[in-house]
Chain A
Amino acid sequence: SYELTQPPSVSVSPGQTATITCSGQELGYKYVCWYQQKAGQAPVLVIYQNTKRPSGIPERFSGSNSGDTATLAISGTQAIDEADYYCQAWDSSTAVVFGGGTKLTVL
């Protein structure tokens, strides 16, 4: 079965850029989304189709996807960005797969 691998945790200082990776075989050929989940809340879509931001998501969130790795970058990280982040891939053969999640800590 297809698997997506994320680092369990990432730490960043306020105002710096946080980078969270998601790795999978030939991931660049799939559509990748990213979700933010805060404690006690449902996940929120922050990136879709590899690079697009839904309405209402700040411009500091950006995404990329190439080769075997997709990346979520959060520039000018703020305390409110502290959350769990999950990548998710979709294609017609593997359907929906989620990564194990990355806990972002803003120190």
Chain B
Amino acid sequence: QVHLQESGPRLVKPSQTLSLTCTVSGGSISSEGYYWSWIRHHPGKGPEWIGYIHYRGGTYYNSSLKSRLSISIDTSKDQFSLKLQSVTAADTAVYYCVRMGSGYPLLGAMDVWGQGTTVTVSS
């Protein structure tokens, strides 16, 4: 059974870079049929899709975050990472790493989620 675990600083200062890593266990990040995604959730709102990456390196970002965002993958470590630059208080949220289907039958469906990590932007 595939398991995802987020790691990284939980407190980031304004204007600095938020960095998170997701470690995949119980399966290979190089498995066909999946995108590896980041989602964030502000309290009281719907989840917000940040972006995803394929194990071959192709990425697709939320246009509203694209200018500040970078998602990378390290298949040798079964990890993928998120970097969000120039953060503000509006970037405070629970961040999840998620496995999303890239083809039939799970196309677009997020079937495995990490437990989530709360990141606070504050000085």
Which chain A residues have a beta carbon within 8 Å of chain B's beta carbons?
1, 4, 6, 31, 33, 35, 42-45, 48-49, 52, 54, 86, 88-91, 95-101
Residue of B nearest to A55 (CB): B111
Which 10 pairs, one residue from A and one from B, show the smallest C-beta to C-beta distance?
Answer: A90-B108, A48-B109, A96-B49, A42-B113, A98-B46, A100-B46, A98-B47, A31-B108, A33-B109, A101-B46
Whether the Cβ atoms of B113 and A43 lie closer than 8 Å is yes
Whether the Cβ atoms of A96 and B46 lie closer than 8 Å is no
Residue of A nearest to B61 (CB): A95
Q: Does B107 contact A (CB under 8 A)?
A: yes
Chain B nearest CB, measured from A48 CB (Å): 4
Chain B nearest CB, measured from A26 CB (Å): 16
Chain B residues lying within 8 Å of A54, measured Cβ to Cβ, are 111
Q: Does B7 contact A (CB under 8 A)?
A: no
